[in-house]
Structures are given as C-alpha cells and as structure tokens.
Structure 1
Amino acid sequence: MEKNEQIELLFDRYLANDCTPAEVRRLIGYFGAPEDEETLRALVSRQLGSAPQENAALTPAVDEVYDRLMKKLIFRKDATPAPKTQVPTKHFSFPGWSRLAAIWLALLVSIGGAVYFFARSGGGSDETAGEVATPLHIEKTATGERRRIVLEDGSVVWLNAQSKLSYPVSFEKNIREVSLEGEGYFEVFRDTERPFIVRSGAIITKVLGTSFNIKAYREDPTASVAVLTGKVQVNSKESTIQITPDQQVLYIRKNGNIIKQDGIDAKAKSTWKDGKIQFRNVLLADVVKTLQRNYTVDITYSNLLATCPVHADFEAETPVGKVLEMLSVSFGGKVTKRGDTQYYLDGTCLQP
C-alpha cells in the first residue's frame, strides 16, 4: 500500500475519533517526517480550506498539543524513553509547520478532542511512546472486480467491486480490526480471546466467529450488515444491536437511525462473491448503482421507476445490455442505448 493512502486513512479515522492507540502513534509519526509534509498539508487543507488563525483563548490548548506532539515525536524517533525527570532534548529538526499541525489538530477536534487524541494515544506516557505500530495493508477492487483475501488469522474476506479493505499485516494480541469501504463478505475464524471488528463509516461490527455481509458504500444513503451464520453486534453512536442469521441492521446516514430487520434473505445478499447478481425486492435506483459498480456504463432512468421493486437473478458475466433488457420487461418499459456505454430506462412500474 502506498504511504499516502496510509496517511489519508489514519487522518480520516482520527477525525472520526476511530483511531486505536497504535494508529494514533503512527499518525503522529507521520507529522514528524519531512517527506510527508505535502500529503498532510493537502489533507488538512481539504478539511479546513485554509490555515487557521490563533487566538488568545486557544493558545494554551495549542501549546499543550504542540508540546506533547514534540515529546512523542522525539521518543518515537529515539525508541528509548527519556527518564521521567528529564525534559527531552530536540536534537533533530522537524518541519517548520509542526506547530501549525498542532494548531490544526486542536481546531479540527476542538479542545476536548485534543484531550481525546492524547488520551487514546497513551496520554503522552513514556511507556507507550516508543512502540512501533504494525503496518497496514490496503486491498482495492476496480469496477466489476471481486477479490478473495485471506487474513493473518485465517479469516477470509471477499471484496466486492469498487471497495477497499484496510487491515494490519498481523493482528494485535487482544483484537482483530479491519476497515471497509464498499461491500465485503466475511467468514471470520473463531477466536474468543480476540474479537473481530469491522469499521465501516459510522457503524462498527463486532464478532467472535461468524459469516456476514457488509455493504457500506460512501455514496449510498444507507449501510447494511446481514448475518448468514452466528451472531453479530453492530454499534453506532445511537445504539447497539445484535443480529442472528437472516437478520439485518440498516443504518440510515441522513438521520443516524439504525434499524433491525427480520426475515431477510441474507444468502442472496452475498451471492456476488460467487459471480452472481441477485436482487430481492430491491429498488431500481439501488439496482442501477449495483450495475454501475459491476459494469463500466452510465445508466439513467425515468423518475417514475426509482422506487420500482426488482426481483431478478443474473450471472455476473451477462452483458449489461441483456441485463437491462430483462429488467425493462419486468417493469413494462424499454431500454434505449444512447452511446457506447450509456443506457436509458423508461416505462411504468408494474407492481406485482
């Protein structure tokens, strides 16, 4: 994985208060590396738009953040903690914007967030500052691509099209944690001593050993977790829900609501890993998103069809034109090809 992707992933997780202590230490380490300055400047600029201005009320908090940041960077560089009574000596130089980075961090998460930052990273203690974090690995899939990934503990993940899985090369002693953007099917090796956690945006899925499907594309209005075997715990800021086979948690991004649904066909939600595309009472608007992730095409449709429910089964290698023709018949309409990769669906929604 490219280092810039590691930095971006950790920076986003830090802003969401999702970093583990080891990840916070890794992020701090990047702030002390001159070669990473351009990447970090771009990330901070993306978040704030421009450099913040200090003011009298914020200065003490910024000084605290900066001092602790510098201590951690020095301890991390030396890998040998200084005596607790000794003030660390700045015997090597940092980029001039390190203080500005501390200001940015303080503003990004507020004064309270800055306290959280250091509480999660070990509070600036000597005992934890010298630890070396396990490197992350990222797997990405392109349009129409599916990939099988075997993790260090023997767990298997199938990654759907246009998705990204971030995971450590080796898991920690007391936890197994990965991050998912997009869709993934998980078969988790059971380990009662180390829970398996999947972070996917605003929801966190926790298991000991089970199989389940997570769909969490950033552009979708909802994210879902469906269980095939075992028991899964899904957490959001609002609530915690446990689900068992053929149950699903639906997270609504707009309002943060989390809903438990019974009697779903969990197996149908994961057939994509076997090269099949199945829709069971799926709105056409969502069907189109799925098709566009699997085919390099642009599909538009009449507004009258957006909420039309679709029940259909296709092989993943079926040409997209044929797929759309079959769909158009189901809702009494037609498909028009408007270019090499452009299609338009029209018609009326025929309810069963």
Structure 2
Amino acid sequence: MDRNRLIELFTKRESGILTLPEARELNEYLKENPSDSQLADLLDKTLQGRFHQQDNFDSAQLKKRLQRIHERLSQEDITPANADDPKGRIRKIVRIIAAVLLLTIGCTVVYRQFTESNPVDHSKNILTTKKGSKSNLVLPDGTKVLLNSDTRLSYNQSFGKEAREVTLEGEAYFEVVKDARHPFIVHTNAMDIKVLGTVFNVRAYQNEKNTQTTLLEGSVEVTLNKRNERNLVVLKPHEKIVVNNNPDHTAPLTADEMPVADISVLTIKTKQEDSSILETDWTKNKLAFDQVSYSEVFPELERWYGVTITVKDSSILTRKISGIYENESIGDVMESLKLATGFRYTIDGNRLKIYK
C-alpha cells in the first residue's frame, strides 16, 4: 500500500467515514505490516481518536498538536523499518501523522462551514454518514451501532445519565447494552422503539414509503406516532413492523391520516444457506433485493454507491427484481440488472442514465 492510500484510510477512520470495504483493507494491511500497526496505535494515542465539530483550530493550536506528536514519538518505542536508518522511520511517522492531522482538521472545517449556514443544537452529538459510506460507533453506554449510508443519528450530551434516547433518520443496526433503569429509545418520524437490551435494525429513510423495525433478539415496544387503539406494538424475535409513511412521497402523513391498514407485523424470512436475513444483509456489505421495484432499487443504489441515477423511461420503475450483490462495483451491479431487465444505461463518473 502506498503512503497516500495509507494516509487516506487513516484520515477516513479518524473522521468516522471509513466504509466497510476500506476498513477491511486497512485491517488486513495492518495485520501484514506490524510496524505500521504500531503507527496506527500511536496515531490513536496522539489524536485521542476524536475531533469535535465545534473545535476551531488556528496556527498556534496546530503547532501545539504537532508538538504533541513529537513528544509522543520521543516517549514511544518505535521499531525502525531499517535498522540502519531509525531517523528515517521517525520522519516517516511524523509525516504520516501530520498529514492525517491536517486532513482530519480539513474535514472538521468543512463540516463547520456547513453548520454555520445550517445551525445545529450543540447540546446534541450528531453523527452522519454520507452516501456511499457506512460507520461503526459505540455510544457512551457501550451500545454498538452500525450506521448505513446517508444516515443521521443524534443524542443529547447527557445520554446515559438520566435517559438513553437517540433520534434516527436513515438506517442503523443496534446491539443495545442492558440497563433496566434506563430504557434505550430510538425516535423516528413514524415510530419510537423502546428496548432494555437487545439486537434490532431500524430503517427510517424519510423519502421511502415505509419505516421498518426488525427484531433479532430480545423484545421491543414500538409506539406508533399516531392516535388509534393500536399505538403500541410489542415485537417478538424474528418479527418486523412495517409502517406506511406516505405512498406519494410528497409530505409526511399526520397522526390522523395514517390508517390502521397501513401497519403490518410480519415474520422475517431466514435464508437456509447461511441463516441470515435480508433486512440485515447490509451490515455484511451485501446489497439484497427480494421482489423490489426499480422505484426503490435505484434510490438504494444512489445511497449505496454515492451516485445519481436518472431514469429516462418511467415504465422501468414498475419492474421488480431479486438479487444479492456482495462487494460488487456499481458497474457490475448495473450489468447484472441490464441482463435481467433489458434496459440500457450509461455511466459518466458518478452519474448514471437509464434507458428502455
């Protein structure tokens, strides 16, 4: 792996935007290169693993950060790559850490410039993933969360002290630490999910027609954000609840507009070959469809690969497909869909056009 690629992966990891394939690439490289694995450990210690979006860095602060790097290096036992040139090894480490530091600060500055024109509540922690990326995180209570692409998760600074509540827009997989005194609650536009300690998946993209909660282990209480006699639903393992948001995709339904018929509790299907389920295939970097129309497939491809898709013939959108794609490029996926459906397409950078 060349130096620029290593710096890129380190920077994405520190910025929290490392994708699953990139994480595997970095982990495999570090296993095969113990000296650079030592560099990764030193990087974590030096940067302390986090930058805050509200941080402001001037030249004096940057110099202090770089001075800390030199101090850390003087304290660490760095094994030189070449025994005859230990100083060369030190210089390499300084250059890489300094590059990661500068690039990570750059990411922070871009985020801050965005939030200056889009004010946010700084009493909340806000975690986001871009289209084409996923992110792992651990909440203050030890709960593990995997965020799918184009997802936003927020929680108060006081999380875990009096309550454990998060707000989700997008998709996330939760492994919740048990705490009977502090139930864990996920708020979405269509429903609130309350658990004590369990494993479940929530899909709540605002531009999709359904919001779904899928339970793998334990139990959850789902409160529907509407007034009727079925506003509380308790799920059992291997069940999911599907709530129809808005078939027209124009504006969210109000509490009184959503009929009971638009709420379903279903038993999820387990695949015989590996006992996995379609609803959580994305956590294994698998893109899975089961008789899904192209009107839903194309937005999913946009999120998954960070591309823009334009459909020139709307009749294509009603067609349905099934398939599982694992670690495949957008070109490979499109070729497969082309063979299955017979449409034509062009790719220009990250822009795709679909023709009949």
Q: Distance in 1 between matches of 2:333 and 2:117?
A: 45
Q: How many residues align?
A: 223
8 Å CA contact 1:159, 1:184 repeated in 2: yes
| 1:77-88 pair list within 5 angstroms | none
Q: Distance in 2 between matches of 1:134 and 1:150?
A: 20
Cα deviation, residue 192, structure 1: 1.7
Q: CA deviation digits over 1:31-52, x for unaligned, max 9?
A: xxxxxxxx99988xxxxxxxxx
8 Å CA contact 2:241, 2:266 repeated in 1: no
1:112 maps to: none
CA, structure 1 residues 150+40, in 2 after alignment: closer, same or farther (shift >3 Å)? closer
1:329 maps to: 339
- The amino acid of 2:232's aligned partner reads T
Cα deviation, residue 165, structure 1: 1.0
Q: Distance in 1 between matches of 2:117 and 2:343?
A: 50
| 1:52-91 pair list within 5 angstroms | none
- The amino acid of 1:146's aligned partner reads K
Q: Distance in 1 between matches of 2:233 and 2:221?
A: 6
Query: Does 1:247 pair with 2:256?
Result: no
1:157 maps to: 145
SS at match of 1:139: strand
Q: Distance in 2 between matches of 1:41 and 1:181?
A: 21
Q: Distance in 2 between matches of 1:337 and 1:152?
A: 45
Q: CA deviation digits over 1:112-149, x for unaligned, max 9?
A: xxxxxxxxxxxxxxxxxxxxx99421111111111111
Query: Does 1:179 pair with 2:189?
Result: no
TM-score (norm 2): 0.56
1:345 maps to: 354
Cα deviation, residue 338, structure 1: 5.2
8 Å CA contact 1:152, 1:169 repeated in 2: no
Q: Distance in 1 between matches of 2:344 and 2:297?
A: 15
Query: Does 1:260 pair with 2:264?
Result: yes
1:102 maps to: none
Cα deviation, residue 170, structure 1: 4.7
Query: Does 1:204 pair with 2:192?
Result: yes
Q: Distance in 2 between matches of 1:134 and 1:296?
A: 28
Cα deviation, residue 158, structure 1: 0.3
Corresponding residue to 2:206 among 206, 214, 218? 218
8 Å CA contact 1:296, 1:341 repeated in 2: yes
8 Å CA contact 1:324, 1:335 repeated in 2: no
CA, structure 1 residues 322+244, in 2 after alignment: closer, same or farther (shift >3 Å)? same
Query: Does 1:309 pair with 2:320?
Result: yes
| 1:31-70 pair list within 5 angstroms | none
User: Structure 2: 5+ residue runs without aligned partners?
Assistant: 1-51, 55-114, 247-252, 271-276
CA, structure 1 residues 338+157, in 2 after alignment: closer, same or farther (shift >3 Å)? closer
Identical-residue share of aligned pairs (%): 31
